[in-house]
Amino acid sequence: MDYLQINGNNSLSGTVKISGAKNAALPLLASTILSKNEITIENVPNVKDINTLLKLLSNLGSTYNFENNRLRIDSSTIFNTMANYEIVKTMRASILTLGPLLSTYGHCEVSLPGGCAIGQRPIDLHLKALELMGADIEIKQGYVVAKAKNGLKGANIVFDKITVTGSENIIMAAALAKGKSRIVNVAKEPEVVQLCEILQDAGVEIEGVGSDELIIEGTDRQKLDMKDFKVIPDRIEAGTYLCAGAITNSQITISDVVPDHLEAVLMKLEEMGFGLDVKGDSITIKPAKKIRSSDIITSEYPGFPTDMQAQFMALMTQAEGVSIVEERLFENRFMHVSELQRMGASIMLRGNSATIQGKIKLYGADVMATDLRASSALILAGLVAEGVTKVHRIYHLDRGYESLEKKFQALGADIVRLKE
């Protein structure tokens, strides 16, 4: 198993190019199930989660070629509609195949994704919405067995709670359903917006894109004529590198981003005293005279992303005064706290809220990555810690960050990947 070794306490400089968004690419890859033709997708990040979904799609019958972030994929060749446990268990987002498989083929069996380090993460809302569209759903031996013999029907769906992959699943299902679907309280994340735009380009009529209410006219199982496209930049990877600039109080530039997607994160960084220079598709972060404390409440887009919570918590250990982080989306997303404490951080947990006392000197330690974003917080802490930090179990990081140590090395960080 690999681990990352970081020698802290040096500043960063230079420019880092941000990769395509994993969370946009995942539903977009799943959407190729709806396509009758082969397409090329550019800017696909070469990370573990993407390769897992490709493995699943190929197991279903898709054929593909993935090189230099360019994916040529043909899912019109699918012959199997069973997403099996062995692949699904390694990645929750495999559930994104449920909506498109069911709407295209009228039946499928998708393994339940199972537990997850950051909380319960049920899929009840996905299933409820598909039932409203006429699906007959049973849970059998750990699988969602879904049938809609004559195809799915358009329906009026009001999500009880905003769910990102739930919205994506139902948008893909509605695209090939018979008739109109109205989906209310739908997620507005940029990744959901791109999925809608790609489906529109493929001929699906969708009204309200970017709002919390969509009207989708289904094609009644007519497969789509999908066009080539490019995946949007990864706003979470972008935010993580901005936090790296911030925590080391250095000037760095991130390029190939959509600054509008990062509004909540940029506002927080400004509030904490950092200078920001936004020019076209790049953002430069400049050192703060004094890093000020701040409070965060995570919420759905366009609010502050839960996927940036851990990185900001690491940053808050270096801010003067008390900061409070309230996690509103996932009940157990504080696994990084005990690891940051091992490095000397002063953090008090109560329910879904963490109180961080800064500024505290951090010291290098052996720490354990527990989930994707928690792991990046440990790397950020390692960058300012005195001495050597070893981050173990970095397979979590490899799920979502492309060329992580190479990008950090290019910014001047002393970081290496080693074998246990």
Positions in the binding site for ligand UD1 (CB under 6 A): 23, 26, 93, 119-126, 161, 163-166, 306-307, 329-330
Active site residue 116: yes
How wide is the angle at C-alpha 254 spanned by C-alphas 23 and 415, nearest 5°? 85
Give dist(CA 30, CA 91) in Å, integer. 13
E-strand ranges in 300-383 read 321-326, 346-350, 353-358, 366-368
394: DSSP letter? T
Catalytic residue among 108, 116, 196, 243: 116
Contact 274, 55 (CB under 8 A): no
139: Cβ contacts below 8 Å, ≥ 6 apart: 112, 145
In angstroms, give the least distance from the CB of 129 to ligand UD1.
9
In angstroms, give the least distance from the CB of 49 to ligand UD1.
8
In angstroms, give the least distance from the CB of 146 to ligand UD1.
14
- Site of tokens 């080539």: 228
CA nearest 393: which of 48, 64, 163, 40?
A: 48
Q: Which is nearer to ligand UD1, 74 or 398 (CB)?
A: 398
DSSP string, 142-165: TEEEEE-TT--B--EEE-SS--HH
In angstroms, give the least distance from the CB of 329 to ligand UD1.
5
In angstroms, give the least distance from the CB of 218 to ligand UD1.
22
Give dist(CA 80, CA 205) in Å, integer. 28
Partners of residue 180 on adjacent β-strands = 217
Q: Which is nearer to ligand UD1, 178 or 399 (CB)?
A: 399
Q: Which is nearer to ligand UD1, 124 or 136 (CB)?
A: 124
In angstroms, give the least distance from the CB of 120 to ligand UD1.
6
CA nearest 296: which of 284, 309, 278, 307?
A: 309
Q: Which is nearer to ligand UD1, 119 or 321 (CB)?
A: 119
Q: Which is nearer to ligand UD1, 119 or 179 (CB)?
A: 119
Q: Which is nearer to ligand UD1, 74 or 189 (CB)?
A: 189
CA nearest 166: which of 133, 208, 207?
A: 133
Task: Please identify every residue annotated as catalytic.
Answer: 116
